[in-house]
Structure 1
């Protein structure tokens, strides 16, 4: 299914999840529209979560990444699930999908080596 003309994504419902298939460039001209489309669908359906298929995305800039962060925040606020699929190489070292659920506490780092760049300038 291709998105309607001028729309960055096609959106449907599968069981209790919204499935959005993004296509084209996810940049300053399309990021806001994608966010609005998904947010409206999420609020209208009260779904269990969102699956965002990024296989059709040919380019993503910082505005596109910003929309993904906004969607993550929204999923946390709604205590629902966000799943990003078919992330292009270079977007994520973790592979072809990234699942973001409710926030979990950070692991205890006591006794662990310092994080890179965590030290104070001398």
Structure 2
């Protein structure tokens, strides 16, 4: 079973001393329209080929527009080497349920990855 956090719990973690790595698995276009501050964009379709962007993180929270793809992302990430020791959770309800601030724009690091 995939562990899910409420948006309020995610906001509390982000405001804490040791925030998790937030991985937004939305498409690049969706991510550019709005995402959690500080999150990285690794579209679900590219997640397996970009595991290096999340490997070594101690805690990962996956996010997507409605909370469905992020559950799939948790299952995928849990199955791969480099993330086996991480605590991996999904934000329930996705960005539709998020009341906090959003950033707009693209993930520059993701663009650099695509050019390699």
Larger radius of gyration: 1
Give the structure with the higher percent helix.
2
TM-score relative to the length of structure 1: 0.35
TM-score relative to the length of structure 2: 0.37
